[in-house]
Amino acid sequence: MAAAGCAASSIGSDRAEEPWVRPDKPRRPTVADVAQRAGTSTAVVSYVLNDGPRPVSESTRSRVLAAIDELAYRPSRSARTLRSRHSQFIGLVMPGTIDPYYVELSLPIEQAAARRGHLVMIANSDFDPAQEVAITSALIDEGVPGIAIAGLGASPSLARLIEASDVRVVFVHHRPEGYTGPLVAVDDRRWARHAVEHLIGHGHTRIACLGHHDDDGPVGARVSGWRDALSAAGLAHGDELIIRSGVDRLSASAAAEHWLKERADVTAVFAATDELAFGLMHRAGVLGIAIPSELAVFGFDGVSAAATSVPELSTIVEPFADIGERVAALLFEERDDPKDHQLECRPVYRASCGCR
């Protein structure tokens, strides 16, 4: 019997398997479609569906109900979940959960959601745009009432996926081009310029930039801020002064090794993230380059580890608590708010730039 089973398996394996392709689902009508058909706002449609909290005139109610029938609109599971008084999950999509920045970003979002009776389901896309789309699609299919995406967020297919659903999505730091939903961010370019201007104030005239290959998102904006500061001061700011790295400190350490050996003329480095700064400082220590007397370093993000690095890292601190609260508010109380929300950072000057 075992042999027969093996033979059957062998015969089956001779067939070439065709890849399974998920058929395109027809676009479901949304609350916005109903509002447009009825000639009213999405808020009014919500009042009709939920029987409140605000009154709606009979004529408007009739138009909304007629539009619902004509479009065959059915409230999604996400909308029903949001109306539930029971604790429910929201989604948080991040590119990596090992980077201390994303750890410190996720906690305030979790805390703000918990204050509203919700839990957070965190998913890691590993800096893969296709995985980011797949995770977001799975969360939408699960019927979560809202999703925060803090990561790549640049894929056009991600924008199309979200636009075709009626799930509330809030982006943190970066969003797909053309997507009109809310964004919670900081002015990366302005604050990067501030950091580099501070290094210039210490007398540095050859300042390099440690970045990675994300040219369109926050890191790209920070590289632009580095250029702005140097250009305004009449200092060199060409690509030959940019160190390209992966996203983690090990990659930064490896990328910095050859560069630090060959560019003794550079006396300061602006690192586009604290994680990159940590890798640079590690490699400088291995090479016997003293910080800050031989090489000043300034980071960006403001993770807690910056206060305990050796030497302590000067950095631009992002308002993690405010970001978490704003994201939660946009997912729950302010679901019709389409605006961008730009929050303020603050600089912290420590030993790595020469301030202590």
The number of folded domains in the chain is 3
Q: Are residues 176 and 203 in the same domain?
A: no
Query: What letter does residue 24 receive in the DSSP assignment?
Result: P
Whether pLDDT at 104 is above 80: yes
Tell me the HSE value of 43 on the side-chain side, using a 13 A CA sphere: 9
Q: Are residues 208 and 301 in the same domain?
A: yes
Kindly state whether residue 293 falls inside one of the protein's structural domains. yes
Q: Are residues 146 and 256 in the same domain?
A: no
Give the pLDDT of residue 86.
36
Give the pLDDT of residue 16.
42
CA 249/CA 272 separation, integer angstroms: 12
Entry pTM: 0.75
Whether pLDDT at 14 is above 90: no
Pairing of strands 146-150, 314-317: unpaired
Q: Do 317 and 302 contact (CB within 8 A), yes or no?
A: yes
Give the pLDDT of residue 128.
86
Average pLDDT of the chain?
85
The strands making up 146-150's β-sheet, listed across from edge to edge, are 118-124, 88-94, 146-150, 168-172, 183-186, 340-343
Q: Are residues 199 and 300 in the same domain?
A: yes
Give the pLDDT of residue 80.
56
Whether pLDDT at 228 is above 90: yes
CATH code: domain of residue 224: 3.40.50.2300
Range with top average pLDDT, 109-123, 305-319, 327-341? 305-319
Q: Are residues 176 and 236 in the same domain?
A: no
Q: Do 120 and 89 contact (CB within 8 A), yes or no?
A: yes
Kindly state whether residue 354 falls inside one of the protein's structural domains. no
Measured CA distances, 62 to 40, 50, 53, 67, 70 (Å): 12, 15, 17, 9, 12
Q: pLDDT for 44-72, tens place per residue?
A: 887 787 665 567 888 998 998 999 888 88
Residue where a domain stops, chosen among 58, 82, 106: 82
Residue 353: Cβ within 10 Å count: 28
pLDDT band at 123 (very low <50, low <70, confident <90, very high): very high
Kindly state whether residue 284 falls inside one of the protein's structural domains. yes
Domain span at residue 225 reads 188-318
